[in-house]
Amino acid sequence: MKLAGIALWTGLLAVWAAAIAFVPADAAQGEVYRIIYLHVPSAISAFASCFLLAVAGVFALWTRNQNYLTWQRGLAEAGLLMTALALLTGSIWGKPTWGTWWTWDARLTTTFLLAILLAAWLMLHGALPSGRQRLAVCSGLSIFVFADVPIIYKSVTWWRTLHQPPTIIRSGGSTMAPEMLALLVSGIVITAAMTVWLAWVRTDSLKMAEKLENQTGAAFE
Amino acid sequence: MMNNFLLIFRQTLRAEFADRERLLSPLLFALVILVMLAFTFGEPPAENRPAAFVAQVFLSLVLATQTALARAFDPEQQDRAFDLLRASPVDPAAIFMAKLLVVLLQGVSILVPATVVSALFCGLEVPGAALVKFSGLSLLTITGLGSLGVTLAAMTLKAHARTVLFPLLYFPLATPLLLAGTQGGIAIISPESVPVAGAMAGSWVVVSLAANTIFLTLGILLFGELVKSD
Amino acid sequence: MNTDPWPFVFAAYACGFALIGGYTWWAVREKRRLQKMLDTLLDTIKAEVTGS
């Protein structure tokens, strides 16, 4: 676990360094587009953790194994971190490109709502006594959130959209230069792996806290 | 299944009517919200009236149903009927459907006066055909809000601080329903202000239907698990 | 583009470093703390069992 953490951090810092110093500037947006290597990976990691949350929720309901609930807690925390980062970097990127810190763009709005929902998930988890019912309720909520996010996204898109169209996947090939695309994909992979690693560390801690609670009866979280 | 459902429905309805405060407070709350909106936004200019009307109706609906939904299981909680209900071999889906139907009735009892009062406040005369379509869309919204709300009420039943937690989950998750209701509503009420209004309204109905389907399916599937006792 | 883009780029990456770094630091520290407590507890239990 420790080695994985060091490797991930090295990789992440390498990607960031390359993003700031080595890749060429974008033809249309200039230097400011370099935020993409942080913004897009964090946003994708946030939504990926929402997906994993639902997967763990299904397993939890299926097997009744409390470990899956602990994993959900870790994923919700790491996912919340990534949504916060995606929102912050999106806002910082928005100022020089759109001239405003915030627009009611579909992706930004959906990420914002996802952040609220993940925070609410964590609050609900904390507000319920541990046991079978907490497992069912929190897992159910994970599935609910995951199922709702796509329609939230669709409805906000129709409501209004200002965001640039997706640049990575597009019919008729990608619009990005190969080295830029390679760096972006590595950024996405490493950030997503980092999210899972953070969730793993937290899950481990939470399991230990639970053990201590069972032994002593005091709260350790 | 059907007998169980009717039995629980009748029992829930009786519990609801036994306490007049429970039945009336969401409605009064909706009216208070309408007045507050008028105070805070002032009188809308003529061209914004349809949008203001639609916004008022749905905002008061979402906020008022929240107060009703957050307390959806209170009567059963008080006399421990809920524990008995859970222990009985009744299909949880029947409990869910009965609760949903009660919420729908409550929602309609909020919606009708809210629509009338809001139209009066905005000085808007809505043509009959548009009103029928608008009512259909509103009903669809209430059904979705109901399935979502009953499920969330069951989820937050045992949580402390549920008065905060319920709206925190309910409002963000209800986003598609609210957007579909308001945007579709504007396309119906003032078609001249929206390009391709007919198709637009249709698309929003589809969004609302999709949200309805997801909330209802998940609600029925999960409800049994949610209310099972430890 | 009239504004200088670099402050925005650096601000964004500083945010990323602060958030992910801060969370990593806290999570690892928390894990070590709990691990230590758990080890102490297990040692006490072991001592009690062998002592009695």
- pLDDT category at B230 given cuts 50, 70, 90 is low
Q: Could you tell me which chains touch chain C, where touching means 3 or more CB pairs under 8 A?
A: A
pLDDT of residue A40: 93
pLDDT at A6: 93
Comparing CA positions, the residue from B202, B105, B215 lying closest to residue B170 is: B215
ipTM score for this prediction: 0.87
C37–chain A Cβ distance below 8 A for any pair:
yes
* DSSP conformation class of A20: I
Q: Which residues contact B144 (CB under 8 A, 6 or more apart)?
A: B174, B177, B208, B211, B212, B215, B216
| CB nearest A89 (choices: C3, C16, C45) | C16
Size of chain C in residues? 52
- Determine, for residues B161 and A123 on separate chains, whether the beta-carbon distance falls below 8 Å: yes
What is the mean pLDDT of the segment spanning B33-43?
87
Q: What is the pTM of this model?
A: 0.89
Q: What CA–CA distance (Å, rounded) separates A64 from A136?
A: 8
CB A124 within 8 A of CB B155: yes
**Is pLDDT above 90 for C11?**
yes
Those residues with Cβ within 8 angstroms of residue A116's Cβ, 6 or more apart along the chain or in another chain = B168, B172
Q: Which residues of chain A are modeled with pLDDT < 50?
A: 161-164, 168-173
User: Which residue among C5, C30, C34 sits closest to A30, beta carbon to beta carbon?
Assistant: C5
| Count of all residues that appear for chain B in the document | 230
The 3-state DSSP class for residue A68 equals helix
Mean pLDDT of B15-40: 84
What are the residues whose beta carbons fall under 8 Å from the beta carbon of A194, sequence distance 6 or more?
A8, A9, A12, A45, C20
CB contact under 8 A, C9 and A35: yes
Question: Which chain C residues contact residue A215 at CB under 8 A?
Answer: 41, 45
Q: How many helices (H) and strands (E) does chain A have?
A: 6, 0
Report the distance separating Cα A39 and Cα A45, nearest Å: 10
Question: So what's the pLDDT on residue B49?
Answer: 87
Query: CA A17 to CA A11: how far, in whole Å?
Result: 10
- Residues B129 and B161: beta-carbon distance below 8 Å: no
Position of tokens 């992706």? A107
- Cβ of residue A63 closer than 8 Å to a chain B Cβ: no
More confident site: A158 or B96: B96
Distance CA C32, CA C25 (A): 11
Mean pLDDT of B46-55: 88
Tokens matching residue A89: 């970097």
Model pLDDT, residue A203? 95
